[in-house]
Amino acid sequence: MFPRSGLYKEAALSESKTQITTYILVSQKEKLKALSGKTRVPISEYLREGIDLVLDKYREELHIQKFLPLE
């Protein structure tokens, strides 16, 4: 399964990005690297998708419904 639809990818490309530094487990990095190698999708794309999944999961708690489209 590949991340993000083409339409979502286009929207993500047009939005400006910022850099963030964080730590992940070595095992997480190894798995992401293997997945990225197999799918040719950059690790950063998987990280952005994961952040979007968490934000969507906690949308109501954060009261940011107007910023996240309901699909």
Model confidence over 14-42: pLDDT tens digits?
789 999 999 999 999 999 999 999 999 99
Between 67 and 46, where is the model more confident?
46
Measured torsion, CA atoms of residues 2, 69, 44, 23, in degrees rounded to the nearest 10? -120
Confidence at residue 68, expressed as pLDDT on a 0 to 100 scale: 56
pTM of the model: 0.68
- Cβ neighbours for 21, distance < 8 A, ≥ 6 positions apart: none
Domain assignments of the chain as residue spans, ordered by start = 42-71
Q: What mean pLDDT do residues 59-71 have?
A: 66
